[in-house]
Amino acid sequence: AQSVTQPDIHITVSEGASLELRCNYSYGATPYLFWYVQSPGQGLQLLLKYFSGDTLVQGIKGFEAEFKRSQSSFNLRKPSVHWSDAAEYFCAVGVRAGNNRKLIWGLGTSLAVNP
Amino acid sequence: EPEVTQTPSHQVTQMGQEVILRCVPISNHLYFYWYRQILGQKVEFLVSFYNNEISEKSEIFDDQFSVERPDGSNFTLKIRSTKLEDSAMYFCASSEALRQWINEKLFFGSGTQLSVL
């Protein structure tokens, strides 16, 4: 069965510190992986995605993620966190659903940033 | 960047009442979706819609749910007789019709928080 696990429910980091949010997936075929961010009162915004090719993908807002097939992981990283990065982060895997696709989501990781 | 618009942002209803959640997808998009997130749980896929018909639906999307594109701009989710467990944040999303479907980018609205009392 397809599933996405985000082991950390809540993380707190200091502004300027580095960040890594973990994501593990279970999917039989080639995974299409996504990270979304949800700021308070905002919709879900795509940070980055992996379909194929280079396993290190760059996204918006200075985020990057690395796909590691051997570990079934797609961890999100940022070298220096800003206070505005405080939000909920969701990892998702895309699977075919009829003619469309659907996303299987992780539970999310809530990020708090200390000044 | 273009936006998906959802109204209302928060809806409160009594159990057994009908609710309609409204979404205005991005104008040139052809694929539409509803997801929901119950507090403390994962975001869940409900339904996808293309060419005026449901393309795929989850087990959650039972006979109490329906979707409609009543005109050229709106995409609605109707819950006929709400239950307490329908309380959740409902997200609408839309995407273009690209040849390689997996390359589509989903644009999400900011959600409607439905509270069933």
Distances from the Cα of A30 to the Cα of A44, B43, B54, B117, angstroms:
24, 22, 26, 43
Q: With an 8 Å Cβ cutoff, is A102 touching chain B? A: yes
> Is B25 within 8 Å of chain A by CB?
no
Residue A90's pLDDT is 95
How near does any CA of chain B get to the CA of A58, in Å?
16
CB pair distance less than 8 Å for A90 and B105? no
Q: Which residues of chain A have a CB within 8 Å of the CB of B93?
A: 44
Q: Each residue of B37-72: pLDDT tens digit?
A: 998 888 899 998 988 899 889 999 999 999 999 887
Residues with Cβ within 8 Å of A94's Cβ and at least 6 positions away in sequence, in order, are A31, A32, A33, A34, A101, A102, A103, A104, B102
Task: Give the separation between CA A89 and CA A9, rounded to whole angstroms.
Answer: 10
CA distance A18 to chain B (A): 26
Residues of B in contact with A97 (CB under 8 A): 45, 48, 55-56
Q: What is the largest CA-CA distance in chain B?
A: 44
Per residue in A67-79, pLDDT (tens digit) is: 999 999 999 999 9
**Average pLDDT value for chain B:** 89
Query: Is B101's pLDDT higher than 60?
Result: no
Say how far apart CA B83 and CA A108 lie, in whole Å.
Answer: 25
Q: Could you give the 3-state DSSP secondary structure of residue A60?
A: helix
Low-confidence ranges of chain A (pLDDT < 50): none
